[in-house]
Amino acid sequence: MKKFLGILILFCGLCGCSALNWWGGSGSSVTVQKGDTLYSISRRYNVPIKDLININHLSSPYTLYVGQKIALPTKQYHVVQRGESLYSIARMHNVDVTSLSKVNNLSTPYALHVGQKLLLPGSVSSASAATSKTAPAPAPKTAVASSSAKQPQVYVPTTPPAKNRSAKFLWPVQGTVISGFGNLGKGRKNDGINIKAPLGTAVKAADAGTVAYAGSELKGFGNLILIKHNDGWITAYAHNDKMFVKKGQKVVRGEKISTVGSTGSVTAPQLHFEVRNGKKAVNPRLYLP
User: How confident is the model at residue 211, as a pLDDT?
Assistant: 94
User: How confident is the model at residue 209, as a pLDDT?
Assistant: 94
Contact between 151 and 9 under an 8 Å Cβ cutoff? The reply is yes
Contact between 182 and 275 under an 8 Å Cβ cutoff? The reply is no
Contact between 218 and 224 under an 8 Å Cβ cutoff? The reply is yes
CA distance linking residue 279 with residue 154, whole number of Å? 15
Contact between 212 and 157 under an 8 Å Cβ cutoff? The reply is yes
* Cα separations in angstroms, 217 against 138, 164, 227, 251: 37, 32, 16, 22
pTM higher than 0.75 for the full model?
no
Total Cβ atoms within 10 A of residue 135: 14
CA distance linking residue 74 with residue 143, whole number of Å? 27
User: How confident is the model at residue 286, as a pLDDT?
Assistant: 92
Residues of the chain with pLDDT under 70: 1-28, 46, 74-75, 94, 122-163, 185-187
Could you give the residue range(s) of every CATH 3.10.350.10 domain in the chain?
A: 19-149
CA distance linking residue 31 with residue 9, whole number of Å? 25
CATH superfamily of 19-149: LysM domain (3.10.350.10)
252: β partners: none
Could you give the residue range(s) of every CATH 2.70.70.10 domain in the chain?
A: 176-287
User: How confident is the model at residue 43, as a pLDDT?
Assistant: 73
Contact between 258 and 222 under an 8 Å Cβ cutoff? The reply is no
The answer to whether domain 176-287 has CATH 2.40.30.10 is no
Burial environment of residue 98 by CB neighbours within 10 A (0 to 12, 13 to 18, 19 or more): middle
**DSSP character at residue 80:** -
CA distance linking residue 283 with residue 21, whole number of Å? 25
Contact between 2 and 42 under an 8 Å Cβ cutoff? The reply is no
